[in-house]
Amino acid sequence: MTLKKVITGAGVIMSAFALIISSVPSASAAKVPSGKAKAGDECGRTGMIAKARGAEGSDLTCLKMTYGTATGELRWWYKDLRPLKNLDWVVPANPGGYSQTSTALSESLKKEGLLQTYTSTFRPGAGGTVGLGFFQEIKAKPESVLITGLAMAGGIPTNRSPLKLENSTPIAKVMREYQALVVPATSKYKTLAAFVADWKANPKMPLSGGSSGSTDHQFLGLLAKANGIDPKQMNFVVHSGGPEVIASVLSGATTAGTSGSAEFLAQVQAGKLRVLAVSSAKRLPGYPAKTLKEQGVDLVYGNWRGVMATPDLPEADRLNMVKVFDAMRGTATWRGYLKQYNWDDEWSAGKAYGDFLKVQLPLVAGVIKDLGLGG
């Protein structure tokens, strides 16, 4: 069923899989010199050029901003950038992590004067491949974009889909989010060790997560393997979005659940969920939980998300869209979302994002095969 609405408002990183790329903070220091400039950084004098410092080796120019939160300030910017009129998002899941990201992107673009309007069409199912198939049927709509990520990269081989994410046009990889493993606040499990001990004794313990082959599924499979549990024995209960995972855990239908950390933030702060562990290398602000590594499990694992456009996007429109997203990355609004959701600023734009996918997609397929998660 299609739900369309206008929205306004792996250690085991297992070293063998090498899936986590180190991130670089986006916050800009005052008057960044041309040799270190990124789009959105402050600059010192109008008209200065930062050669090849923009996306795909394009130049940045020091301009006095006339829109967005930096109005009146000097910023490294794309002189030829054209703000977007509209974005039509295809979200390959029910409302949750994917739409949280696409909405944060869209609201950042709007507040910074880089976008007028946006809509979202939800197409859940089959590890994101239903949405991918729908998106790849769209023709001659330069405003159409797909929000994707590690979950879809795993969903394609899990569902043995003939679809290829790389047949779409890469615009930008925008962030990295880490997993949280949660139980109800009333659960007997107060530590990861206690939970793992029971999980070992009963590998069929029902655990809640996203679609088959998703980041959630991959993470629990790697967590099982790291603790000597056969991933093939897991009882992974599939859901189409984070809200369903929360409902499942709180109702007691499943013993524990996992999703991106931001999904659980409100319930954690309200005292309804307890976090047993987070999958980041360091503790996450606002999460009263230790990392897996602090608790003796050598696993760091996180979900990246990115934006794809249609394969028939004209080159001029493609490069402009890449520049628009790259410019958004340096804005105060986007940096606020990164902080709010505990997202790492892990960024690559245009062809660099395409190069990332060429390496990442086979690695994820290898994780799926190794863990026996294929359908």
Tell me the backbone φ, ψ of residue 206, rounded to 5 degrees: -70, 125
Residues 308 and 282 in one domain: no
| Spatial CB neighbours of 81, under 8 Å, sequence gap ≥ 6 | 320, 323, 324, 327
One domain, residues 362 and 274 = no
Q: State pTM to two decimals.
A: 0.85
- Residue 237 near residue 207 (C-beta atoms within 8 A): yes
255/330 same-domain check: no
- Select from 77, 107, 136 the last residue of a domain: 77
Q: Which long-range contacts (CB under 8 A, 24 or more apart) does 363-367 make?
A: 363/17, 363/18, 363/19, 364/19, 364/150, 364/153, 364/154, 364/157, 364/218, 365/153, 365/156, 365/157, 366/17, 367/10, 367/14, 367/17, 367/19, 367/154, 367/218, 367/221, 367/222
Binned average pLDDT, 10 residues per bin, the chain of 375 residues:
38 36 42 97 97 98 97 97 98 92 98 98 94 96 97 94 97 97 98 98 96 92 95 91 93 97 93 97 90 96 96 96 98 96 95 97 92 74
Nearest of 17, 21, 309, 373 to residue 165 by alpha carbon: 309
Specify if 19 maps to a domain: no
Check if the beta carbon of residue 276 is closer than 8 Å to that of residue 294: no
- Residue 374 has a pLDDT of 67
Q: Is 123 helix (H, G, I), strand (E, B) or coil?
A: coil
122 and 153 inside one domain: yes
* Single-letter code of the amino acid located at 108: S
Whether residue 20 lies inside any domain: the answer is no
Final residue of a domain: which of 242, 265, 295? 295
Query: Strand 206-209 relative to strand 144-149: parallel, antiparallel, unpaired?
Result: unpaired
Does some domain include residue 23?
Answer: no
Query: In this structure, what CATH number is given to the domain that contains residue 199?
Result: 3.40.190.10
The answer to whether 332 and 251 are in contact (CB under 8 A) is: no
Report how far residue 47's alpha carbon sits from residue 61's, in angstroms, rounded to the nearest whole number.
Answer: 6
Q: Determine the pLDDT at residue 25.
A: 37
Note the pLDDT of residue 234. Answer: 94
**Residue 125 falls within a domain, yes or no?**
yes
DSSP 235-251: EEEE-SSHHHHHHHHHH
- Look at residue 43 in the predicted model and tell me its pLDDT: 97
Q: Are residues 141 and 87 in the same domain?
A: yes
- Nearest-angstrom CA–CA distance, 322 and 122: 23
pLDDT of residue 16: 33
pLDDT at position 240 is 75
In eight-state DSSP terms, residue 18 is -
Residue whose C-alpha is closest to residue 46's, from 78, 75, 69: 75
Looking at the structure, do residues 115 and 147 belong to the same domain, yes or no? yes
- Inter-residue contact 261 to 178 (CB < 8 Å): yes
Rounded to an integer, what distance in angstroms lies between the CA atom of residue 122 and that of residue 222? 29
Rounded-to-10 torsion of CA 255, 261, 266, 272? 20
- Full residue range of the structural domain in which residue 233 is found: 178-295
In degrees, rounded to 5, the angle at the alpha carbon of residue 294 between the alpha carbons of residues 246 and 97 is 30
Which pair of structure tokens corresponds to residue 310? 């249609």
